[in-house]
Amino acid sequence: MAHNHHSHCDCCSHEHNESVHEHHYEHEHHHEHGSLKKSIILIAVTAVLLVIAVIIEKTCNLSTWQLLLIYLVPYLLIGHDTLKEAAEGVAHGDAFNEHFLMSIATIGALCIGFLPGAETQFPEAVFVMLFFQVGELFEGYAEGKSRESIAHLMDIRPDIANVERDGKLLKVNPEEVAVGEIIVIKPGDKVPLDGVVIEGTTALNTVALTGETMPRDAGEGDEVISGCVNLSGVIKVRTTKNFGESTVSKIIDLVEHSSDKKSKTETFITRFARIYTPIVVLAAVLLAVVPLFFGGAFHTWLYRALMFLIVSCPCALVISVPLAFFGGIGGASRQGILVKGASYMDVLAQVDTVVFDKTGTLTHGQFEVSAVHPDICDEHQLLHLAAHVEHFSTHPIGAALRNAFPDEATDGCTVTDVKEISGQGIRAIVEGKVVCVGNTRMMDAVGAKWHDCTHIGTIIHVAIDGDYAGHIVINDKIKEESAQAIADLKVAGVKRIVMLTGDRSEVGEDVAQRLGIDEHYSQLLPADKVAHVERLLTEKTQGNALAFVGDGINDAPVLARADVGIAMGGLGSDAAIEAADVVLMDDKPTKIARAIAIARHTLSIARQNVWFAIGVKLAVLVLATLGIATMWMAVFADVGVTVLAVLNSMRALK
């Protein structure tokens, strides 16, 4: 009784935790939405107050001091946050940021009117602050959109797991489920942890992980991974990993930390802003002071110096470039391509050599019967005997023969004296006949007169009572998309496509020929693959990159050695996710050309932003120095350019 009571409390506490968890997320979302709404109201109120202040200035004959007090109301209303940020920056020794530049420029504009012979610049000062806040609003909105594109990954984060404990079904946090526990997943539920189905069949929606809309069937003995959604049946799953190690955790962690690895462009922009801002402030001071020695009017040159400060604010670069990369990574993850950081976007865009591992990358890594050539019986009979002999074999060839003749388990034939002969094959007695299934050495041993086959593949010979009965050709199945993937890469301008395989040379040659690969190397050990990749790295031209594509299990050393390692995620192969820089979540080689295209698109957007921002700023800086530019032009050169660059960056999401 006491035990039951304890379980009940446990369950309640989890439900309470879950509701607190949900409430926290809702609260965060409302907070973000609320601050956006608050900014819009603040901007609208300031705009109205600015119009009223301008009307008062035009209609009433007020002194400069009185006008200043009227304009200070909208100025402080919209600018208090910027002024506060600037003050905090100065206090923390980080004075040269955009808030500091804006504050100096606008305070300067408010003070100009008190200089002898100068006109008041109060409306300009308020307008600069107002427009700066509009820019910040756009930036906030764009960042929200970028995060939303990555938030679809957060949708795969499961909230609860139904776990069987002491004959009861408890709702618990997935983090509290141990390896080996049994969880029940109902239709409509997210799969909370990686595991193996022990009861039931269902279809799984993997769209959030792979971008593929086609459901995957899962039954007893099949692996399921966290983040999928159960569509049809109730299944029981024995967990194989805890929550921290599960696929869904790793993916979310990868994408959340993708911004840690900055691209070359981003690092350059950050360094550029650090050096650039102090230089600009010094240049503005010189612009205000130097002309005084040549009889210039102080208020004229001070006004130009203030414009110089506003124009030169580097926020368009500092904001839009990382935003473009963030958008590109988000857009790629929607297509089932995980890029581990902006720095790999840089490298991907420069790929001109792609090296493929064959098995599991261009082929399925699963053997299947591709031809049956009988000598003394029909095809059906030959397959029937071979499948019976290989019934208990754990070798992939045995599985291929059984798959080719699935009825062998139910046709009632008696199989006895099954014996595996090392290095030759398997011998068994089927319905009283001695059947040998194996290689040429086995045929020689039993005196069967075998003959070779013109087909490429692994040849399995069969003898019945010492007489040669024929042979079966087994091959690794080429993926349907492989030929298209190679063609797409050539269209994308990849100059060199190489295939490396541990397989026999005739098999390697056959696959390369069928896929249109010009260069291939066979019978390689993992160390040989590394040596080949290192040679190819020395042969590539400066400014170009080499990508290695593998299935991750035995390719970890090569994946790490290449400029960019691309792994077939195999819906969660750990070694792949760890070693590679880019992970294709659905194993489709056609995604490689798409990943390169996304990287190039993202990089071109970042470059457009850089050139556009620098170009406009330089033009207005020259005009400001010559006294042709107005404060409004200066505002456009800063905030207008930022808004346009941010909007341009949002194209990377598509």
Question: What pLDDT does 109 receive?
Answer: 78
Burial of 106 (0-12, 13-18, 19+ CB in 10 A): buried
Q: Which residue has the higher pLDDT, 506 or 15?
A: 506
Is residue 347 a part of any domain in this protein?
yes
Residue 267 has pLDDT above 50, yes or no: yes
Which residues face 224 on adjacent strands? 195
Looking at residue 332, which CATH number applies to its domain? 3.40.50.1000
What does the DSSP assignment read for 93-120? T---SHHHHHHHHHHHHHHHTTSTTPPP
Q: What are phi and psi of 117, to 5 degrees?
A: 75, 5
| Model confidence band, residue 1 (pLDDT cutoffs 50, 70, 90) | very low
Question: What pLDDT does 211 receive?
Answer: 56
Residues 436 and 578 in one domain: no
Residues belonging to the active site: 357
Is residue 281 a part of any domain in this protein?
no
Q: Which two tokens stand for residue 404?
A: 């080719």
Predicted confidence (pLDDT) per residue in 364-405, tens digit: 877 888 899 999 888 888 999 999 888 877 777 788 888 888
Question: What pLDDT does 274 receive?
Answer: 72
Do 237 and 197 contact (CB within 8 A), yes or no? yes
Do 462 and 382 contact (CB within 8 A), yes or no? yes
Nearest residue to 151 via CA among 39, 25, 320: 25
Domains contained in the chain, number: 3
Q: Which two tokens stand for residue 60?
A: 């009433």
Question: What pLDDT does 113 receive?
Answer: 75
Is residue 384 a part of any domain in this protein?
yes
Q: Which residue has the higher pLDDT, 321 or 449?
A: 449
Residues 463 and 371 in one domain: yes
The pLDDT of 434-444, averaged and rounded, is: 92
Residues 397 and 464 in one domain: yes
Compute the distance between CA of residue 414 and CA of residue 158 in angstroms, rounded to an integer. Answer: 50
Residue 12 has pLDDT above 70, yes or no: no
Is residue 591 a part of any domain in this protein?
yes
Compute the distance between CA of residue 567 and CA of residue 582 in angstroms, rounded to an integer. Answer: 6
Residues 494 and 512 in one domain: yes
Compute the distance between CA of residue 565 and CA of residue 341 in angstroms, rounded to an integer. Answer: 13
| Model confidence band, residue 188 (pLDDT cutoffs 50, 70, 90) | confident
Burial of 534 (0-12, 13-18, 19+ CB in 10 A): middle
b/e map of 580-601 (b: 16 or more CB within 10 Å)?
bbbbbbbbbbbbbbbbbbbbbb
Question: What pLDDT does 20 receive?
Answer: 37
What one-letter code names the amino acid at 272? F
Among 457, 477, 497, residue at a domain's last position? 477
Q: Which of 47-51, 212-216, 518-522 has the lowest mean pLDDT?
A: 212-216
Is residue 558 a part of any domain in this protein?
yes
Neighbours of 429 (CB within 10 A): 16
Residue 15 has pLDDT above 60, yes or no: no
Is residue 644 a part of any domain in this protein?
no
The alpha helices in 178-246, defined as continuous H runs, are 207-210
Question: What pLDDT does 151 receive?
Answer: 54
Q: Which of 237-241, 294-298, 312-316, 413-417 has the lowest mean pLDDT?
A: 312-316
Burial of 260 (0-12, 13-18, 19+ CB in 10 A): exposed
Question: What pLDDT does 7 receive?
Answer: 37
Compute the distance between CA of residue 615 and CA of residue 621 in angstroms, rounded to an integer. Answer: 10
Nearest residue to 499 via CA among 486, 481, 487: 486
| Model confidence band, residue 570 (pLDDT cutoffs 50, 70, 90) | low
Question: What pLDDT does 351 receive?
Answer: 94
Question: What pLDDT does 27 receive?
Answer: 44
Number of H helices, E strands in the chain: 21, 22
What average pLDDT is seen over the chain?
A: 81
Looking at residue 394, which CATH number applies to its domain? 3.40.1110.10
Residue labelled with tokens 């009965």: 469
Q: Which two tokens stand for residue 418?
A: 């099954």
Residues 340 and 431 in one domain: no
Question: What pLDDT does 2 receive?
Answer: 39
Residues 422 and 370 in one domain: yes
Q: Which of 4-18, 180-194, 437-451, 538-552 has the lowest mean pLDDT?
A: 4-18
Nearest residue to 362 via CA among 597, 590, 522, 547: 590
Residues 488 and 435 in one domain: no
Among 427, 461, 477, residue at a domain's last position? 477
The pLDDT of 201-211, averaged and rounded, is: 74
Is residue 505 a part of any domain in this protein?
yes
Predicted confidence (pLDDT) per residue in 463-476, tens digit: 999 999 999 998 88
Q: Which of 56-70, 411-425, 538-552 has the lowest mean pLDDT?
A: 411-425
Question: What pLDDT does 145 receive?
Answer: 65
Looking at residue 225, which CATH number applies to its domain? 2.70.150.10
| Model confidence band, residue 25 (pLDDT cutoffs 50, 70, 90) | very low
Question: What pLDDT does 171 receive?
Answer: 92
Residue 638 has pLDDT above 80, yes or no: no
Residues 437 and 409 in one domain: yes
Residue 232 has pLDDT above 70, yes or no: yes
Among 240, 268, 302, residue at a domain's last position? 240
Q: How far is CA 266 from the centre of its chain?
A: 18
Question: What pLDDT does 148 receive?
Answer: 62
Is residue 209 a part of any domain in this protein?
yes
Residues 444 and 510 in one domain: no
The pLDDT of 24-48, averaged and rounded, is: 72
Residue labelled with tokens 């609208």: 44
Residues 397 and 495 in one domain: no
* DSSP SS3 for 503: coil
Which run of H or of E encompasses 389? Answer: helix 379-389
Residue 600 has pLDDT above 80, yes or no: yes
The pLDDT of 427-434, averaged and rounded, is: 91
Instruction: Name the most confidently modeled range: 103-112, 517-526, 606-615, 620-629.
Output: 606-615
Predicted confidence (pLDDT) per residue in 126-179, tens digit: 887 887 788 778 767 766 665 665 555 556 677 889 999 998 999 999 999 999
Calculate what percentage of the chain has a pLDDT beyond 70. Answer: 85
Nearest residue to 524 via CA among 508, 552, 503: 503
* pTM > 0.85: yes or no: no
The pLDDT of 6-17, averaged and rounded, is: 39
Q: What is the CA radius of gyration of the chain?
A: 34
Q: Which residue has the higher pLDDT, 508 or 632?
A: 508
Q: Which residue has the higher pLDDT, 406 or 479?
A: 479
The pLDDT of 533-547, averaged and rounded, is: 92
The pLDDT of 266-295, averaged and rounded, is: 79
Residues 461 and 549 in one domain: no
Question: What pLDDT does 603 receive?
Answer: 92
| Model confidence band, residue 22 (pLDDT cutoffs 50, 70, 90) | very low
- Give percent helix, percent strand, percent coil of the chain, each to the nearest 5: 55, 20, 25
Compute the distance between CA of residue 503 and CA of residue 512 in angstroms, rounded to an integer. Answer: 12
Question: What pLDDT does 6 receive?
Answer: 40
The alpha helices in 242-291, defined as continuous H runs, are 247-256, 264-289
Residues 344 and 235 in one domain: no
DSSP code, position 423: T
What does the DSSP assignment read for 314-380? THHHHHHHHHHHHHHHHHHHHTTEEE--HHHHHHHHTEEEEEEESTTTTEEEEEEEEEEEESSS-HH
Question: What pLDDT does 258 receive?
Answer: 58
Q: Which domain holds residue 172?
A: 159-192+194-240
Residue 585: HSE in the Cβ half-sphere, 13 Å Cα cutoff: 26
Compute the distance between CA of residue 542 and CA of residue 611 in angstroms, rounded to an integer. Answer: 24
Residue 21 has pLDDT above 90, yes or no: no
Do 550 and 361 contact (CB within 8 A), yes or no? yes
The pLDDT of 43-51, averaged and rounded, is: 93
Question: What pLDDT does 238 receive?
Answer: 96
